[in-house]
Structure 1
Amino acid sequence: MPSEPITFTTATASIVGGWVFGATITPDVCRFAKSKSHVVIAGLVAFLIGCFSFQFAGALIAISTGQGDFTLAMTALGLGLVAFFTAVFCLWTTQDNNIYGASLALQNVIKDTKYYGKIKHKHIAFTIATLGAVFAAGGIFNIIMPIIQFLSLLIPPVPGVIMAEEWFIKKPKHSFVVNHRAIIAWLIGGILGFISLRTGFFVPPIIGMFSAGIAYLPLYTSFFFKMPLFS
């Protein structure tokens, strides 16, 4: 449990930001689905039933035991062994997707560098998994809330830009490696999300996501970004 009570905005930023982050990386796996309907069904079941149910149960356990750590809370209920196996299997089935998504993102980063094709995907995945284990052993959980809050501001503007381009920009023609419009829109969304968090206004991830999407539309058609420097 937090040493001091947190505000409603901070709490919702952590929860909603985590959901948005999960939704952002699911295409890495959902692209293997046979149809769009399978993706929709899987998303509804995973987020509305799976995530909500687990978080609701976790909140009840934390309130009843006074422990914010899942393992300690379950131990307080006399379910330490159940907590151990639950944690192992849940992490095993969840973190493999996170490792895959992170390694895939890193592959995209090095795609246009001289290292592309020289570093195997499995080596990147192993390195990321090792770093995750080292950070976990080093006690990163003790500072997890600031990290979650940071990610809740950093990640949500990304799907905002993606949705804006997919739904409102007809046949986008990208001839550039770096999309400066998207980066600026992402920064705008992140800044407005941060302001929302600091002022306690609404839900910061939602503010950041919609702000980035709205900002991207005029930026995409701006004459300034059609100059050779940004082409």
Structure 2
Amino acid sequence: MTRADAGPGRAATARTGPPRAVDAAGKEALDDYSLTPVPDEARHSWFSVAVQRFGQVSSFQQFMVGAVLGYGMTFTDAVIAITVGSVMLEVVTILLGVAGVREGVSTSVLARWSGFGRKGSAAVGMLVAFSLAGWFGVQNGVFAQGMHDLAGWAPEWAWAVVGGAVVTAVSVHGFTTMAWTAYLTVPAFLVLAGWSVADTLAGHTPADLLTGPPPGPVMSLAEGTTLVAGAFILGALMTPDMTRFNRRPSDVVKQTLLGVTLGEYLIGLTAVLLGHAARTADVVGIVTSSSGVLGTLILATAILKINDWNLYSSALATVNSVDVLVGRRVGRRPVTLVIGAAGTALSAVGVTDDFTGFLETIGVLAPPVAGIIIAEYYVVRRYRAVLDAAHRTGALPDRVPDWLPLSLICWAVGAFVGAQVDAGIPAINAVVAAFALYATAGRALRARRGGPAATTPLPDRTT
């Protein structure tokens, strides 16, 4: 039985229950259900979630990836690289997204019952929180530099403060406000960027762009596919943060096929053509320099519609880690304010300029987490019985071990494979290695313990 099956009963209880229960429900809603399952009455249409997913993959980052592909590959090879990388990402995204809509919780909370245990989920949360908070600062720094170059009438630190404050305000108000922001910024970005792209491509024949050789050093198909998959793997891991607001698993499939496919192909292939036409990988500079006002609006809409999710997911992960490690529940809103203020301050003083390389380095730790969660949730299924039983109450199980050593071993092996194995795609190698090892070892341990242990959680050693 899915959480949607039990929805009407819970909704009626919320409406007719005692005042204290109603107050608690209101606080959970205000907190965007950071540590509890999202109830049916708080779920959104698939379209509102799909627009935000599309906003994540139709960003300047995707433009930059496409431009690098176009600068070093033929158009045909770029299409193959985007196709292979996108298909692999979509598989991971859909599997994690369906788990998110079924359980109604964020990635870091889901990790408690998906292979990592309580304190293991805190480790996952800290990795995610630190990575996304860092990217929030980096993106805000890019915004500040671009706005300073385009407008010129204010120093970079001032633009960093303005940009960080706006994004923080949107993220503090939660999913609904972020959805309305996406309704405005996604179409605006597409229209404005399309205008600039059309201007850049004018004077070039389709034959030259589609069949011409790459203007820069040749990039192999493996390198191109790695670039596509690696650019969005952290976004794929955070899919449950978004899909917990969906109403049914089919919504996840629709929004992923629409958002990721259109984002990768529409934005990615357009940038490939730009790379061929401009004969440079600096497509961001091309787009933003096409017109002062136009470039300013493009940059503002591009950063806003992806950076709010960096901050939002970072706050969710932090709330879970604090709850586990300190034993104290903190609100998502104040945590968002603290992270947003810190990221804004660091970008204003320029500290985040040298942070990108470090973030990319620790990024090798993210893909194995996705493989472990998928393996536990769909293959080993040790905690699916207690999760399914919890659907009837609308609350998560209250018993889970602190650590599951198998997940730590698989995490380390997956990260090692992703970092050291040259063949294939590093991010996907890490996902597959962690998935295969956890699925195999988990099933073997399950068979060794016998039937009942397969669906009965380990005792909570902390109580």
Structure 2 partner of 1:68: 282
| Cα drift, residue 211 of structure 1 | 0.2
User: What is the rounded CA distance, in whole Å, between the counterparts of 1:179 and 1:10 in structure 2?
Assistant: 35
Percent identity between the two aligned chains: 21
Equivalent residue letter for 2:295:
A
Q: TM-score, normalization: structure 1? A: 0.79
Q: Which residue of 1 aligns with 2:417?
A: 192
Matches within 5 A, 1:76-115: 76=289, 78-114=290-326
CA contact (8 A) 1:107 1:116 kept: no
Letter in 2 for 1:165: E
Distance of 2:253 and 2:323 partners within structure 1: 30
Report SS of the residue matched to 1:34: coil
What is the aligned counterpart of 2:255 among 14, 18, 42? 42
Where relative contact order (Cα < 8 A, 6+ residues apart) is larger, the structure is: 2
In 1, Cα distance between equivalents of 2:342 and 2:274: 30
The 3 A distance-change label for structure 1 pair 143 and 80 is: farther
Give the conservation status (yes or no) of the 8 Å contact 1:16–1:205. yes
* Secondary structure of the corresponding residue to residue 381 of structure 2: coil
Q: Supply the AA of the counterpart residue of 1:52.
A: Y
Distance 1:16 1:104 in 2: 24
1:124 corresponds in structure 2 to: 335
Deviation at 1:22, TM superposition (A): 1.2
Pair 1:68–1:114, CA change in 2 (3 A): same
Which residue is 2:367 aligned to?
156
Distance 1:75 1:103, change over 3 A: closer
Structure 1: which 5+ runs fail to align?
Answer: none
Greater alpha carbon shift after TM alignment, 201-210 vs 18-27: 18-27
Larger-gyration structure (1/2): 2
- Provide the rounded CA distance (Å) in 2 between the counterparts of 1:144 and 1:64: 28
SS in 2 for 1:29: helix
Q: Deviations over 1:158-205 (max 9, x none)?
A: 111111112211333873122321121111111001112xx3x11101
CA distance in structure 1 between the partners assigned to 2:271 and 2:351 by the alignment: 21
Query: Is 2:288–2:299's contact at 8 Å kept on the other side of the alignment?
Result: no
Q: CA RMSD in A?
A: 3.2
Question: Which amino acid counterpart does residue 404 of structure 2 have in structure 1?
Answer: N
Contact 1:157 1:213 in 2 (8 A): yes
Equivalent residue letter for 1:122: R
Please name the residue that 2:206 is paired with.
none
TM-score, L = length of structure 2: 0.42
Contact 1:160 1:213 in 2 (8 A): yes
Unaligned segments of structure 2, at least 5 residues: 1-63, 69-215, 387-398, 450-457
Separation in 1 of the partners of 2:408 and 2:303? 32
Alignment-mate amino acid for residue 164 of structure 1: A
CA contact (8 A) 1:67 1:73 kept: no
Q: Measure, in 2, the Cα distance between the counterparts of 1:212 and 1:109.
A: 22
